[in-house]
Chain A
């Protein structure tokens, strides 16, 4: 028997095209996802050098960042429209398959990859987008790249990569009732910080991770980059396999069974070693709310906003002060006393059918608070259709939410869905950076359940006090 390996090493070893002293490895890429914002300069680079796309059938494009969520074909911003038109021109010219704005499969690139079965265990997946880490939920090695690398992958189907260090993030025990994957990943980042994963690929292990649905695992892996890790993954298991069975681009019939058997072999071996490890107990986790301007600035719903005077270093003290000032919050104020004006349920972190279902359960027959504007943006056209088939749109609309079309929307506010300056948003997205949802906008990251509860109450509440506990 050979050396015990992690899933990360197994995938890596199967994709090394070329190794040379003094260079990173030349790594083969199985799936290259493309969107309109980070690709135009890459296609232009190919054009200038007379290069082609090496593997159009291992490349898949969609439009998500700029897409209007109200009237899909009324794009008021001329520059946005030009960027989307350019993607169509580029895909036509270079033969790249595209799910354009009116395509039934259009959606957030990290929602549609898994949904279509393009994302599979053991694949190497890249995209000019830092949240490519999402696809790691399937036991794929998936990471974000810059536009120069997008051009490189288009031309060569490879990328130069230093073999990463491995980090085991082990979550022991079970999550409490009403505690979600979003609370878990926020709590992890809150505890270990925004750069503990820098230079590493994370593998999430432990009972709490094993018990998560694929949607939950995607939420966790999605935010790996918020911990500094370019990629985060979960070893494939039965949950992974059952999710992929029957998906459009997954292997079919006998081929699927054969592939599934291989996927199971990818799981990290007993006794495999990691370069580093951290552990956390799932039981200790409460619903989380971020109070500051990076995702590690988060606290349980029962807690008070930190006081800079209690910081352990001068630089932490300054950071807390700066964040409180931007967020217009008082030190020591209970987070549950903070009123909100906007709610955004969506983004590549939390816009899948299961996310919307759980939010809808909280909403039930209640109404959105009169001082709150709340929007629900499904992650893809498919999610939207499926949600409408089971009546989720009615629950949200009857409660006073706006039910929108699929796209990135208010996560980064590039398409016109913005939070005005000085106003506060409970958001299921992944970044609470200054200005992320609009210049001067104040973002609080939460789970879909917590966002739904905040929409109804007008301020942050412990969702466990609203939910009917499941047996």
Chain B
């Protein structure tokens, strides 16, 4: 995956809590067998009407957010289904950073496996960013090395994430290759670890 160190981009505010992965990418688009091309279906039921036409009144369809790459949302973002199609859709649409007061565990994890940076800020900080981005064209910088978010007008906030996930994101490593450096340990573990059944017949 692509490494991410710092990112400066336009902010799109989505002032809703509990945005679930069914909203991020509805099930009818989960049938594809590749990782690409999910962006056009992002937030499908909000962005498109019954006739599959873009709804001009939905905020993300407004021209001012066309090049947004940082999404700021309410609490518990990405809850529900484990579908990795959700981060794939966000990324394909152009989002590189997601900011929220809290994330669902699986979604948070899925982001970090794809080079998307999930940033946890406080409720007040996230609300401040949403207010800023609703009222004007608003840019933010996210620095993963310093674990800071700031703008050019004096806003600054710190965030934290587990060291391992930070390193994976900073370096864009292939996690399986990292794990396989411990292949001997997996071999040793399996030698003494008993699991039933021994074989599964077809």
Contact = CB atoms under 8 A, between A and B. Distances in A.
A146 B109 contact: yes
A414 B31 contact: yes
B50 interface: yes
Given A28-B186, A79-B32, A435-B23, A155 B176 contact: yes
Of the listed residues A30, A60, A412, A433, the one surrounded by the most CB atoms of chain B closer than 10 A to its CB is A433
Given A41-B33, A152-B175, A57 B79 contact: no
A65 B82 CA distance: 14
Interface in B188-202: 189-190, 193, 195-202
Interface string A190-222: 000011001100000000000000000000000
A130 B82 contact: yes
A315 B113 contact: no
Contacts of B163: 22-23
A54 B105 CA distance: 26
A182 interface: no
Contacts of B53: none
A146 B82 contact: yes
Contacts of B82: 38, 128-130, 144-146
Interface string A148-165: 110110011110101000
A26 B200 contact: no
Nearest to A161: B109
Given A145-B82, A435-B22, A41 B35 contact: yes
B18 interface: yes
A86 interface: yes
A313 B194 CA distance: 52
A120 interface: yes
Interface stretch (B3-11, B56-64, B132-140, B177-185): B177-185
Contact of A130 (B81, B102, B174): B81
B31 A79 contact: yes
B74 A315 contact: yes
Interface size class of A (residues with CB under 8 A): 35 or more
A322 B14 CA distance: 14
A158 B189 CA distance: 11
Given A24-B164, A38-B82, A421-B50, A144 B33 contact: no
B45 to A, nearest CB: 5
Nearest to A255: B196
A37 B86 CA distance: 13
A436 interface: yes
Nearest to A262: B194
Interface of B: 16-18, 20, 22-23, 26-28, 30-35, 45, 50, 74-76, 79-84, 87, 102, 104-106, 109-110, 113-114, 162-164, 174-176, 179-180, 182-183, 185-186, 189-190, 193, 195-202
7 contacts: A17-B182, A26-B182, A97-B201, A146-B87, A160-B179, A319-B17, A433-B20
Given A194-B18, A434-B23, 8 more contacts: A28-B190, A57-B200, A129-B81, A147-B110, A156-B180, A160-B179, A230-B105, A315-B75
Interface of A: 17-18, 22-24, 26, 28, 30-31, 37-38, 40-41, 44, 49, 51, 54, 57-60, 65-66, 77, 79-80, 82-83, 86, 97-98, 118, 120, 123, 128-130, 144-149, 151-152, 155-158, 160, 162, 194-195, 198-199, 225, 228, 230, 249-251, 255, 259, 294, 315, 319, 322, 412-414, 421, 431, 433-436, 439-440
User: What 3 A-B pairs have minimum CB-CB distances, sorted nearest first?
Assistant: A148-B113, A40-B33, A146-B110
